[in-house]
Structure 1
């Protein structure tokens, strides 16, 4: 039972990473515009994040050190400092979007203006980060997020032509109504969303919070191999629902209410209630992850005390950074900024910064001084190097494609 409950860290990380507010809408947009032809991008993303998180979790379990401590040591203060600035700003963008997404989800459930929910959402995140134990945070949010499996059940209830869905996923073609630039822009967005660095910051730091040691390497692997593929399944289910409901009518998804429409059509009010609970839980979980990650990155880089297992008086800098992040995010959202667009931009910029986070973890995972007999094997290294190339290509191509397509418009 303890081993199964330990998977909650992977479930929370996966749901918060694959299914934050931007991903919920982006997967639905992709389904409504491209059908299942971008399935390969999600599959590449889940393989990549499994490799990345598995290495990061193993490094933390063996060395007892979290991601940004290692990045500073491996890259040196100057290069690591540039990485810190990029990672923190991207994380702040994502945190802003998650608070806004939580406000949108609460609007969907209550019909109250989203901006009225923004301070409530930010305050709720702060209270949980401040008062709740890490184990409660991961177990409750992760398990409630599992109600998003209603997306998968809804696809089954919609009774699709499975052969056609599988064929378009397995033999993808760019739709005649879409250009190649838009197609690959969304491919990078899906790939970047799956491999967002904050997922790994949270996952490795969470391993320290839970006091993992060398004996927990298998637990880390179990978290990764269950949590992240589950997140990918949910992402593909959202895309499939939009493919079935919106693509035949050539309607492009642009709101959260459209995202849940296939669920409501398939399962009625009961299914809609489940999906609303799941969306609130998933976006709230992503808000917690990004809030904690903002504190983790800064505190680890500067060598401050950090962690939810420490009281605020024992780790003041860690908690101040998180509070400031929430205040900045909420302040931005009180303007007319669109939280979904903020997340879409943050996903693309995440792809740009990803190589500087991925490479140090890969180097340490091959360093016997840190890892002993837990270094990467040849097969794992082969896959890791292939994904390093893919990450660099996505990083280089992201901005030109964003400019060329007007951010996918």
Structure 2
């Protein structure tokens, strides 16, 4: 049983990070417009986040220090401060999207206006952060989020033409009805959804919460190799469901009800109910992660006491930072901004910010003063260098592609 729950951190990170509202929306949009022609980006993203999180987890386990503590030390206070501002802003944007995702999922289940659910969602996230232990939080949210496997079940029940789905995916190319610039814009968005920086903030800080040491490197590998590939498979299932049902009907995703339409068509009310519970759990787990990441980044940079393993009174500024982030997220959503639009923006800007955290982790993972005998090997370094190029290209291309395509429209 202990080995089963050893993967809980990775499962929560994957379900609440890889398969959050950003991934749900982006994969459904891509499937409804491009079919399976962008599934290769999911594969690239899964390998990339496995590499990134594995290095971050190994650095934390060996050094005993979380990501932003290391970033401040390696970059200095000024450069790390600029990194903090950018990371916190994008993290806040993502947190806003996740709270909006919870509200949309609850609206889908109850037909109650989403704006009425927004403060309820924010309060619920705060209560869990305030009162629930870290291990209980990760186990419950992660395992309930596994109900998103309902998308995979729906795909099989739909009985698609598997050969046609394969022809859409291989060789990858934009459909004749779509402009190449839009194709590459959504490729960057999918990559950003897969490799959001907050996943790594949460993963490495969670390793400190669970008191990992060099003896826990095998647990790090289990978390990474179970959690993120699982998230990738669920992402492909979401895109495939949209490709089978929405693409032929000419339906472009603009609401959560359209995302789950293939599930309702394939499995009826029961499967739809299970998937909605999974969406609530996944978006709630992601809201927990992003709220925690807001507190982690600021507290680690400023040297404050932090962590859920400490009572709130002993880490008051850490908890206050999370409360402020939650209030800001709720406040933004109460202005009637579209949560789907916020989601699409958050994944693109995640790609823009990715080099800020990827580069320091890659450097430290090669530093024998930090890592001793656990520095990156040749294969990991070669792969890390390839992904450094991909990360930088995606970051540079994101804003021009957004402007050129009108955010993919």
Q: Give the TM bin, normalised by the shorter chain.
A: over 0.9
Using the TM superposition, give the Cα deviation of residue 166 of structure 1 relative to its aligned residue in structure 2, in angstroms: 1.8
d(CA) in 2 for partners of 1:369 and 1:40?
37
d(CA) in 1 for partners of 2:127 and 2:192?
30
Q: Which range is displaced more, 122-131 or 347-356?
A: 347-356
Using the TM superposition, give the Cα deviation of residue 84 of structure 1 relative to its aligned residue in structure 2, in angstroms: 0.3
Residue in 1 that maps onto 2:343: 343
d(CA) in 1 for partners of 2:346 and 2:273?
29
Residues 308-359 of structure 1 show CA distances to partners (whole Å, capped at 9, x for unaligned) of 0111110111000000011111111111101111121111111111111001
Q: Contact 1:122 / 1:326 at 8 angstroms: preserved in 2?
A: yes
d(CA) in 1 for partners of 2:268 and 2:408?
32
Residue in 2 that maps onto 1:182: 182
Residues 3-58 of structure 1 show CA distances to partners (whole Å, capped at 9, x for unaligned) of 21010100100111122212211111100000000011111111100000000000
Determine helix, strand or coil for the equivalent of 2:306. coil
Which runs of structure 1 show a deviation greater than 4 angstroms over 4 or more consecutive aligned residues? none
Residue in 1 that maps onto 2:242: 242
Q: Contact 2:7 / 2:227 at 8 angstroms: preserved in 1?
A: yes
Query: Could you state the TM-score of these two structures normalised by the residue count of structure 2?
Result: 0.99
d(CA) in 2 for partners of 1:126 and 1:248?
42
Kindly indicate whether residue 88 of structure 2 is the aligned counterpart of residue 76 of structure 1: no
Q: Contact 1:55 / 1:361 at 8 angstroms: preserved in 2?
A: yes
5+ unaligned residues in a row in structure 1: which ranges?
none
d(CA) in 2 for partners of 1:114 and 1:124?
15
Residues 113-159 of structure 1 show CA distances to partners (whole Å, capped at 9, x for unaligned) of 00001110000000000000000000000000001001011111111
Residue in 2 that maps onto 1:18: 18
Residue in 1 that maps onto 2:139: 139
Determine helix, strand or coil for the equivalent of 1:246. helix
Q: Contact 1:119 / 1:330 at 8 angstroms: preserved in 2?
A: yes
Cα RMSD over matched residues? Answer: 0.7
Residue in 1 that maps onto 2:265: 265
Residue in 2 that maps onto 1:170: 170
5+ unaligned residues in a row in structure 2: which ranges?
none
d(CA) in 2 for partners of 1:358 and 1:124?
32
Matched residue count: 409
Residue in 2 that maps onto 1:158: 158
Q: Contact 2:25 / 2:344 at 8 angstroms: preserved in 1?
A: no
Residue in 1 that maps onto 2:284: 284
Residue in 2 that maps onto 1:101: 101
Residue in 1 that maps onto 2:7: 7
Using the TM superposition, give the Cα deviation of residue 170 of structure 1 relative to its aligned residue in structure 2, in angstroms: 2.4
Q: Contact 1:65 / 1:208 at 8 angstroms: preserved in 2?
A: yes
Residue in 2 that maps onto 1:405: 405
Superposed counterparts of 1:156-235, under 5 Å: 156-235=156-235
Determine helix, strand or coil for the equivalent of 1:313. helix
Superposed counterparts of 1:109-128, under 5 Å: 109-128=109-128
Determine helix, strand or coil for the equivalent of 2:313. coil
Residue in 2 that maps onto 1:31: 31
Using the TM superposition, give the Cα deviation of residue 167 of structure 1 relative to its aligned residue in structure 2, in angstroms: 2.5
Determine helix, strand or coil for the equivalent of 1:37. coil
Q: Which range is displaced more, 168-177 or 100-109?
A: 168-177
d(CA) in 1 for partners of 2:73 and 2:170?
43
Using the TM superposition, give the Cα deviation of residue 195 of structure 1 relative to its aligned residue in structure 2, in angstroms: 0.5
Q: Contact 1:199 / 1:289 at 8 angstroms: preserved in 2?
A: yes
d(CA) in 2 for partners of 1:251 and 1:164?
19
Determine helix, strand or coil for the equivalent of 1:71. helix
Q: Contact 1:22 / 1:341 at 8 angstroms: preserved in 2?
A: no
d(CA) in 1 for partners of 2:99 and 2:109?
16
